[in-house]
């Protein structure tokens, strides 16, 4: 309807003497309206783009939280596993340390018994001691 009215107006204006000036004004106004319409369309698209970017950020943040939660869970499992492994190794170390200490003590006792037998044999075979003195030493 508007286009038809515009065409009719143009036809009447073309017949008059100042038609060129009027046509220029009409074209200028039409160009202004087209520019304003395009600008509004661009603004709507920009607003929609900003909204979509914000939605993307929300989704990315949610995914990051999910991934961080998964990573945290995995790290905790690893920590628990290695803590258990470390505790078991500590127990083994304590047992081995006790074993080495017992081995040391047993070696010292064996050396002590060997020295006792050596000393006793030396005293017993020595002809300078009487039977009573050997009994007293023993």
What range defines the domain where residue 41 resides? 21-137
Rounded Cα gap, residues 57 and 54, in angstroms:
5
- Residue 1 counted as domain residue: no
127 or 107, higher pLDDT: 107
Q: Could you report the per-residue pLDDT of 35-77, keeping only the tens digit for each?
A: 999 999 999 999 999 999 999 999 999 988 888 888 888 989 9
- Residue 10 counted as domain residue: no
pLDDT confidence bin for 96, thresholds 50/70/90: confident
Instruction: Tell me the percentage of the chain whose pLDDT exceeds 70.
Output: 88
Residue 113 has pLDDT above 60, yes or no: yes
pLDDT at 43: 95
Q: What residues contact 137, with CB distance under 8 A and at least 6 apart?
A: 123, 129
How does DSSP classify residue 16? S
pLDDT at 120: 85
Rounded Cα gap, residues 61 and 66, in angstroms:
9
pLDDT at 7: 54
Q: What total number of domains does the chain contain?
A: 1
CA distances (Å), 82 to each of 70, 71, 78, 109, 118, in order? 18, 16, 6, 40, 53
* Helix intervals (H) in the chain: 2-15, 19-125, 131-137
pLDDT confidence bin for 15, thresholds 50/70/90: low
pLDDT at 54: 95
- Residue 113 counted as domain residue: yes
- Residue 118 counted as domain residue: yes
- Residue 59 counted as domain residue: yes
- Residue 34 counted as domain residue: yes
- Residue 12 counted as domain residue: no
- Residue 126 counted as domain residue: yes
């Amino acid at each position: 309807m508007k286009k038809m009215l515009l065409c009719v107006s143009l036809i009447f204006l073309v017949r008059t003497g100042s038609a060129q000036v009027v046509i220029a004004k009409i074209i200028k106004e039409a160009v202004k309206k087209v520019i304003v319409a395009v600008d509004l369309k661009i603004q709507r698209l920009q607003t929609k783009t900003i909204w979509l970017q914000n939605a993307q950020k929300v989704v990315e943040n949610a995914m990051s939280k999910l991934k961080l939660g998964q990573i945290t869970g995995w790290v905790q499992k690893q920590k628990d596993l290695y803590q258990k492994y470390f505790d078991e190794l500590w127990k083994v170390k304590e047992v081995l340390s006790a074993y080495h200490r017992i081995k040391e003590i047993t070696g010292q006792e064996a050396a002590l018994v060997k020295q006792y037998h050596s000393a006793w044999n030396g005293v017993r075979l020595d002809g300078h001691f009487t039977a009573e003195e050997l009994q007293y030493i023993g």
